[in-house]
Amino acid sequence: MRVAIMLRFTSPPPPLLSTPELCEPQNPTRNREPHPKRQKFVGKDPPSNLDLFDALPDDLIVSVLSRLSSSAGSPSDLVSALVTCKRLNALGSNASVLSKASRECLVMRAKNWSESGDRFLKRCSDSGNLEASFTLGMIRFYCSEMRLSGLSLMARAALGKLGSGC
């Protein structure tokens, strides 16, 4: 059973991916120091101030984020997860997460188009996402009048589809 929550804003929502953390790729394997009040779990009885989320391996979180991005019904599904914490934001920039982003996750209305949306689609396209390549190619070719760039992105998507046997 899927439950969707709809929010209505009295003012227009902020542009998609407008924070610097979401726009710039980060290194998800950086050495993170645990929160000062948190400690690593060693033994049978976990202490009360232990953060079990920090104990999860990065590969598991990347796998969960990949499944989320492939099944997201809208861009806000993935963005909501990425703005939760710095760790999810950094791991959400992983190529395996961005390469599996669904068509619905890449949809953006023309009136909401921004530079950050363009950067997000570019990062997805660079990760090998054919839907992102095609979408960004169409936008650049028809709307931004960047004909050569748009044409090369659409060609990459078409050749990728042919190569996969679709």
CB atoms near residue 136 (< 10 Å)? 27
| Phi, psi (degrees; rounded to nearest 5) at 44 | -95, -40
**Max Cα distance, the chain (Å):** 62
Question: Which DSSP state fits 110?
Answer: G
138: CB partners within 8 A, 6+ apart? 150, 154
- List the chain pLDDT tens, one digit each, 166 residues: 454 454 444 555 555 544 444 444 455 555 556 555 555 555 566 566 667 888 889 999 999 999 999 998 888 888 899 899 999 999 999 999 999 999 998 887 778 788 888 899 999 999 999 999 999 999 889 888 899 999 999 999 999 876 665 5
Q: How far apart are CA 130 and CA 62, in angstroms?
A: 20
End-to-end CA distance of the chain: 30
Identify whether the C-beta of residue 96 lies closer than 8 Å to the C-beta of residue 119: no
pTM: 0.64
Q: What angle do the packed helices 130-138 and 115-126 form, to 10 degrees? A: 140
